[in-house]
Amino acid sequence: MGTKTIGVRTEVYERLKARKRDDESFTDLVDRMLDETTPDWRDGFGTLSSEESDELERITSEAREATSDGLSKRQVAALEELTALDEEPDETA
C-alpha cells in the first residue's frame, strides 16, 4: 500500500499530536478519528425511555392529524371554489 505526504499547519499538527495515542502512528490516529466521525444512523436507537417514546409517539400522531385536517379543509375549500366558478354564467358567450 502506498503513502502520501500531506501538509498541515503547525497548530493542527499540535492538536493531532495531543490526540495521538502512544501506540499509534499518525495514520492510525487519522483513521481512528475518521471512523469516530462517521455517523451511524443506528447509534441513537433504543436510547429513549418508555415515557419519552410514548410522548414522541403522541406528539407525532397529533402533528399528523393536524396536517391531515388542514389538508382536508384546503381540499374542501378548493372544491367549493371550483364549483362556484362552474356555476357562474359565462360572460364571453
Q: How confident is the model over 11-61, as pLDDT tens digits?
A: 999 999 999 999 999 999 999 998 877 677 777 777 888 899 899 999 999
- Whether residue 44 lies inside any domain: the answer is no
pLDDT of residue 48: 84
Say if residue 53 is in the same domain as residue 77: yes
pLDDT of residue 42: 75
C-alpha span between 57 and 63 (Å, rounded)? 10
- For the chain, the distance separating the N- and C-terminal CA atoms, rounded to the nearest angstrom, is 82
**Full residue range of the structural domain in which residue 21 is found:** 8-37
pLDDT of residue 93: 58
Question: What is the amino acid identity at position 31?
Answer: D
Say if residue 55 is in the same domain as residue 75: yes
- Whether residue 54 lies inside any domain: the answer is yes
Q: How confident is the model over 68-84, as pLDDT tens digits?
A: 988 989 999 999 998 88
Q: Residue 20: is it exposed, middle or buried by C-beta count within 10 angstroms (0-12/13-18/19+)?
A: middle
What 3 state SS string does 29-41 have?
HHHHHHHHHCCCC
Number of structural domains found in the chain: 2
